[in-house]
Amino acid sequence: MTFTTQLSHYEPDTRRRVTYLRARADDDPPAYAGSTQTLETVIHDARASSHTLDESAFALVPFPTALNNEDFYSERVVSDYYAEMQDLLKKHTGATHAKIFHHQVRCAEKSDASVAKDGSFDTSTSVQGYAHGIHTDSSGPHAETLWRHFVQGEPAECRSGRFVYINAWRNISSSPIEQDHLAVLDERSLVKPDDYVHVDLKGVGYDVLQYGLSSRNAGRHRWFYFPKMVRDEVLLFKQYDSDCSKSGRCCFHTAVRDPTARADAPPRESIEVRAILFFANHEGPNTCPVLPAEEGATDDGCDEARAREGATKLAGACTFVKSNAMYRAMVQKHMKADYETGGALAVIRKFADDEQGTLGLKSASAETKERAAELAFGAGLATRDVDEIFCGPSAAVLFLQSLQQSRLAAAMAGCAIGALVAGRAAHSNTRHIYAVRLLGISGEYAVMVMRIGYQIALSPPDGAEARPDWSALSDVWREHVLPHAVAR
């Protein structure tokens, strides 16, 4: 079940990569992608060998779920699935506490991601495409920032010991995965720190320091996947482990195309949840960051610094909910009465209660929470976002609009590329592919883009009528054209 595919690696140089998934501001650093090298890469069958989290940085765990396929596209993910995953993560790792803070459903055919007019790409939609391209989701500095944020909502014993930032990845379809597998790199095959490339990813509402993979020692790297993954299996892989005595601490991963898969293989449907694990019972020296001394409260019991930080996060949370159909539907359902009686401020106050501990306000005083809500309300951005959540289109309409925008972007890309290809050479496939490669697209996708561009912009080569392959073009645009356009 081993197969060979092509993976793009960064060519080593001395510069830090900067990638934009949002419009670049005037004071932002310039984008820099550097040079890449596409290499033939063997993806080994992980079922034929043994792997553990602390050694390889990934492990496959049998763990059934009570949710069916449709449930994973609903709010049951948060209400029910999070609890299942907390149970799994604590039992398998020995963590004393687990904070799940994010999830992402992926299916290319159902993706509602879109490209905005300013070129920004929304990564917060309820369904995304597949993440082709070697990467980590985090880094040491970024993971420690997350820990400092989430530990505020956990018991005091979680402030020392060990912590792990981890992903739990599952097939949510009733069919085994046959295409677009998730490949993971055995960390023991890396050369450290030579193989790590720092990548600043700048998205809508967030900046993240991630790692890319250098081509320097690619011949030593051992990639794996688990063939035919079914819904009762979960692939765990680390984003960061604070315990530097472990050989497996940070897992490079990527979606990979399988050239041996049958042509009519069903599209992959998957979910990943992200969590911070706290090991308050860790034996050995403390590996958690040292928390700064807490700011003293003002005379009225309000911590002004904490309130201002909370207000910024409240504004970001409101923007995220507004743009995410699933979360927007949940807020519309559970906070409609608050909005109707108290307006946007009442909803912002509810958010400021921070019951899940995601805004750093859960343990804050009532005065600090109220101050944070007032600051967010007074700034205006959060208020407008809340008004749009309740007064704008319904969640269902928003979903359809996002899908339409995604298809429109795909069509525009197809027309532009089709015209470019046709203009370069009307009858030479070799020149067509070369023209598309000017945009930085690898060979197999160049062929696909060329074909779809013909379908939309021109008559097909054989003169027959052809229906545009929206799904394929959207996939190519999102995963292979856009990353180069923003210098990923």
* Residue 312 CB neighbours (<10 A): 17
Residue 454 has pLDDT above 50, yes or no: no
Report strand pairing: 253-256 vs 181-185: antiparallel
Residue 196 has pLDDT above 90, yes or no: yes
Integer Cα distance of 172 and 45 in angstroms: 21
Which two tokens mark 271? 């979910």
Helix H or strand E segment including 270: strand 270-279
Q: Which domains are delineated in the chain?
A: 3-279 (2.60.120), 304-391 (no CATH), 399-485 (no CATH)
Q: For residues 280 and 406, which has the higher predicted lDDT (pLDDT)?
A: 280
Give the confidence band of 477 by pLDDT, cuts at 50, 70, 90: very low
- Report helix, strand or coil for 273: strand
Cα dist. 375→162, 346, 455 in Å? Answer: 35, 13, 52
Q: For residues 160 and 322, which has the higher predicted lDDT (pLDDT)?
A: 160
Q: Is the dihedral of CA 454, 457, 462, 467 positive or negative?
A: positive
Give the confidence band of 173 by pLDDT, cuts at 50, 70, 90: very high
Give the confidence band of 462 by pLDDT, cuts at 50, 70, 90: very low
Residue 147 has pLDDT above 70, yes or no: yes
Report strand pairing: 270-279 vs 97-106: antiparallel
pLDDT at 354: 87
Taking the CA atoms of residue 456, residue 461, residue 463 and residue 466 in that order, the dihedral angle to the nearest 10 degrees is -40
Q: Is residue 162 within 8 Å of residue 288, measured between CB atoms? A: yes
User: Which of 109-113, 368-372, 382-386 has the lowest average pLDDT?
Assistant: 382-386
Integer Cα distance of 208 and 202 in angstroms: 6
Integer Cα distance of 349 and 357 in angstroms: 14
Integer Cα distance of 360 and 352 in angstroms: 9
What is the chain's Cα-based Rg? Answer: 23
User: Which of 49-53, 382-386, 387-391, 457-461 has the lowest average pLDDT?
Assistant: 457-461
Give the confidence band of 400 by pLDDT, cuts at 50, 70, 90: low
**Residue tagged 């519309």 (tokens):** 332
Q: For residues 149 and 458, which has the higher predicted lDDT (pLDDT)?
A: 149
**Which amino acid is located at 443 in the chain?**
G
pLDDT at 321: 83
Q: For residues 203 and 442, which has the higher predicted lDDT (pLDDT)?
A: 203
Burial of 287 (0-12, 13-18, 19+ CB in 10 A): middle
Q: Is the dihedral of CA 238, 241, 244, 250 positive or negative?
A: positive
Burial of 6 (0-12, 13-18, 19+ CB in 10 A): middle
Which two tokens mark 481? 């054209």
Q: Is residue 211 within 8 Å of residue 222, measured between CB atoms? A: no
Which two tokens mark 102? 């994010």
Please state, rounded to an integer, the average pLDDT across all residues of the chain.
83
Q: Is the dihedral of CA 273, 278, 283, 285 positive or negative?
A: positive
Average pLDDT score over residue span 220-227: 99
Integer Cα distance of 15 and 60 in angstroms: 36
Taking the CA atoms of residue 339, residue 340, residue 344 and residue 345 in that order, the dihedral angle to the nearest 10 degrees is -90
455 — alpha (psi -120 to 50), left (phi > 0) or beta?
A: alpha
Q: Is residue 214 within 8 Å of residue 298, measured between CB atoms? A: no
Task: Please report, rounded to a whole number, the percentage of residues in the chain having pLDDT higher than 90.
Answer: 56
Integer Cα distance of 445 and 434 in angstroms: 12
Q: For residues 129 and 474, which has the higher predicted lDDT (pLDDT)?
A: 129
Average pLDDT score over residue span 219-242: 99
Residue 340 has pLDDT above 80, yes or no: yes
